Amino acid sequence: DEPRYRWRGMLLDCSRHFMSKDFVKRYIDLLAFHKMNVLHWHLTDDQGWRIEIKQFPRLTEVGAWRMEGDQRYGGFYTQDDVREIVAYAQSRNITIVPEIEMPGHSMAAVASYPELSCTGDPFEVGARWGVFDDVYCPGNDATFDFLEKVLSEVIDLFPSEFIHIGGDECPKTRWKSCPKCQARIHDEGLADERELQSYFIRRIERFLNSKGRRLIGWDEILEGGLAPNATVQSWRGLEGAIAAARSGHDVISSPTSHCYLDYAQFVAPDEPIRMGHLPLERVYSFEPTPADLTPEQAKHVLGAEGNLWSEHAPEERVDWQVFPRLCALSEVMWSPSRRDWTDFHGRLQTHYRRLDAMGVGYFIPPPGLASPIRVFTDAIDVKLTTSMDNTVVRYTTDGIDPTDESTVYRDPLHFAQTTTVKAKTFTVRGRSSPVAEYIFRRIVPLEPISNVETSAGLKYDYYEGKWEQIPDFDALTPAATGVIPTFDLGVHKLDEYYAVRYRGYFEALTDGVYTFYLMSDDGSRLWIGSDLVVDNDGLHGCSERSGQVILRAGRYPMVVGFFQADGVQSLEVQFEGPGMDKRPISASYLSHASVDR
């Protein structure tokens, strides 16, 4: 029994939400109990600076606090607090790796010392989530003097070989118009702002190396050229890990697909999926070493790390987000690559009792469905499922959330009319799951069309303008039209505000229930014929919604509308049908009328 990886880590973000010293110690105990050996402690970001720096007292006088409504919110760790926590972790064989974010995610710092920004304007500590344009100014030598002094105090507090400097999600907006940054690009012979970020990271790395420490950054540090000795933490998939390992750099695998424990653990079919969906089984399936690496390159994979970003997880929510998924990650990092989900899931039932004994408020999964089908023509039998032993499922059909006095589910439910079921899992130890809401709809099957001459591809209409919901396309004049093979934002991804409508036909190959999915940022809608099947409209971040219809084999009119309102641009259109898993709607399923009807 020995660990597969030397780096078995968890990130705790105490910047977005400050967490008490005692809570951090408890978190360390839980990591040690599960054979983890690294706590990646995220201490600074736009929304708060959490570590005392003697030479720069405004970092905690100003940067540790933000306004939430009319309330001042925040906190910080004194250097004595940090020493106590580091010593506590060492006694449990946990190494704490601090993260001091740069050059982006630095609003708390520039609010404390505005002269470190490109504009020198007064700022406030970030009071919303997201990415801010105002970052450290790499054209200003005072920026590096400040950061070297900060890092010197951090190094004195943390004996870790590694110091994490972030390096992710840094907008170049201010750098492009900053005379100091442009002068730095010219004087250093840099090609652009991407190389300016690389210059920034390389300069910080030289300083850390001079102190006998190693730099870690998120995979954006690959852009513009990687610092000579840097270690890459790959979060946007494993492409960063592959590129870094192939070039001889150490890597830590932390892809959003398997390691972001702030993502939802359960999403009912009719609920939007925001920030991703990461069920326990997918965490357990994680393979930290990419298969594309040679055995020699694979030696650069130090290990893996789970991440708990706390925008939506204050201290009281951490247990609920982390457990039991940390149990799965711990086994991934310790055990050989061959794992058995059924065996793990069975052992977890016993482990829940240990977590109960330690007072861990772990996530309790709501009841699921034995079948994904939620539409019917005459009647439907509904079977609810639970993935935990020693639990009871209770449900209602009157729109009221279940309580511990609601009807106990025992046999499949039979519905002949549209019905909404709400269900919860209750444990014998007095805890319960979130409510799962399922809507079972009685519908009329749609009829395919005939006698339409079609050609390959979809028609699109592109509209210029600013909207907060899908516009009435028929009342607008498109700025451009054309035909494309499938749903693609194409050249319009460069624009900040626009809308696009895709028109054509979807080919159902067999009779049955079809589920359509829209993942978008911002709003989107999907119609089959005149029926609105998926409604993912409105201003929102990347989220997914789905809807079901019953189709007979044949061709159906399909329309997808999308609007973009600044920020991230994303649209994915997928479906699943009889005998077919979820997949993008490829060109082979799509066509358009050769002549407008």
Q: Which of 431, 594, 416 is nearest to 504 (CA)?
A: 594
19 bridge partner residues: none
The verdict on whether 378 is a catalytic residue reads: no
Antiparallel, parallel or unpaired: β 231-234 and 251-253: parallel
Q: Determine the Cα–Cα distance for residues 576 and 9; give it in Å rounded to an integer.
A: 36
Per annotation, catalytic residue among 17, 40, 105, 258: 105
Structure-token pair, residue 156 = 């004195």
Identify whether the C-beta of residue 75 lies closer than 8 Å to the C-beta of residue 140. Answer: no
Q: Which listed residue (169, 311, 437, 507) is catalytic?
A: 169
**How far is Cα 52 from Cα 55, in angstroms, rounded to an integer?**
9
How buried is residue 581: exposed, middle or buried, by Cβ count under 10 Å (0-12/13-18/19+)?
A: exposed
Cα separation, 185 vs 173, whole angstroms = 15
Distances in Å between the Cα of 339 and the Cα atoms of 281, 300, 331, 408 are 11, 22, 9, 35
Contact present, 424 and 388 (Cβ < 8 Å): no
- Taking the mean position of all CA atoms in its chain, how far away is CA 170? 17
Task: Count the Cβ atoms, other than its own, within 10 Å of residue 542.
Answer: 18
CB 9 within 8 Å of CB 305: yes
List 13, 40, 45, 262, catalytic entry: 45
Q: Which residues of 270-304 are buried (b: 16+ CB within 10 A; e: fewer)?
A: bbbbbbbebbbeebbebebbbeebeeebeebbbbb
Residue 332 backbone zone (phi > 0: left; psi -120 to 50: alpha; other: beta): alpha
Single-letter amino acid, residue 260: Y
Residue partners of 80: CB distance under 8 A and separation at least 6? none
Beta-bridge partners for 131: none
CA angle 347, 350, 404 (to 5 degrees): 125
Q: In sequence order, what are the residues at sequence separation of 6 or more whose Cβ sits closer than 8 angstroms to the Cβ of residue 470?
A: 499, 523, 524, 525, 537, 561, 562, 563
Cβ atoms of 304 and 328 within 8 Å: the answer is no
Active site members: 45, 105, 169
